[in-house]
Amino acid sequence: MVSQTTRWVVEFIRSTPLLVQLFFIFYVLPSAGITLGPLTAGVIGLGLHYSAYTAEVYRAGIDDVPRGQWEATVALNLPKRRVWQDVILPQAVRKVVPTLGNYLIAMFKDSPLLLAINVVELLGAAYQTGSQSLKFLEPITVVGLLFVVVSVVSSILVRRLERRYATY
């Protein structure tokens, strides 16, 4: 029952656009008596959205551990904690690091969507600066370059992690 409900919730979240989820959390929930500030709603929205994707990544990584590994832990009569801590998770994490790194970068690049619910982040600050000076090109270009620099540096770090945890 719990696994089916969880699977349905994860699929529902993954099947709806992040912007729709943010709008729902910020604009619809107050009609149900749940009022959240823009930043809180944004953090919850991004958190729920990307946690659904990472849950699937971890599930796939765990499912990819060879059946023989599971059978060996049963044959050795290992306690569940040791099975997960020493056998399954080390193998699964190696396989999911690249995808998790990609989602981290994607979450950073999706943060400008928070502007739609009044969270002033980098792009919002650039827009405000442009509104005051009536020059939008410079601040938006600087923000765009900042996104590129952070994304490229993050990609390089993720690649290093991939090499460190590479399975041969």
pLDDT tens-digit readout, 43-60 = 999 999 999 999 999 999
Centre a 10 Å sphere on the Cβ of residue 134 and count the other Cβ atoms it contains. 6
Q: What is the mean pLDDT of the chain?
A: 90
Q: Residue 167: what pLDDT?
A: 58
Centre a 10 Å sphere on the Cβ of residue 86 and count the other Cβ atoms it contains. 11
The model's confidence at residue 126, banded by pLDDT at 50, 70 and 90, is confident
Domain limits of the chain?
Answer: 2-67+94-164
List the CATH code of the domain at 2-67+94-164: 1.10.3720.10
Report the share of the chain in percent with pLDDT over 90.
62
Q: Residue 52: what pLDDT?
A: 96
Q: Residue 118: what pLDDT?
A: 82
Q: Which of 87, 51, 85, 92 shows the shortest CA–CA distance to 72?
A: 87
The model's confidence at residue 66, banded by pLDDT at 50, 70 and 90, is very high
Is the per-residue pLDDT at 168 higher than 60?
no
